[in-house]
Amino acid sequence: MKTYIARQDEIEEQRNWYLIDAEDQVLGRLASKVAHILRGKNKAIFSPHQDVGDFIVIINAEKIKLTGKKMDQKSYFHHSGYPGGESFTSVKSVLEQHPERVIEYAVKRMLPKNPLGRKMFSKLKVYAGTEHPHSAQQPQKLELA
Residue 93 lies in a domain: yes
* The pLDDT value given to residue 67: 96
Domain that holds residue 49: 13-141
> Which pLDDT band, with edges at 50, 70 and 90, does 85 fall under?
very high
Q: Average of pLDDT values for 70-82?
A: 96
Residue 3 lies in a domain: no
Q: Where does 1-145 have alpha helices with state H? A: 8-13, 27-39, 70-73, 91-97, 99-108, 115-121
Residue 42 lies in a domain: yes
* Count: domains in the chain: 1
CATH number of residue 89's parent domain: 3.90.1180.10
Residue 98 lies in a domain: yes
Residue 95 lies in a domain: yes
Q: Average of pLDDT values for 12-29?
A: 95
Res 145 pLDDT > 90: no
What predicted TM-score, i.e. pTM, was given to this entire model?
Answer: 0.92
Distances (CA, A) of 114 to 52, 55, 120: 16, 19, 10
What percentage of the chain exceeds 90 in pLDDT?
86
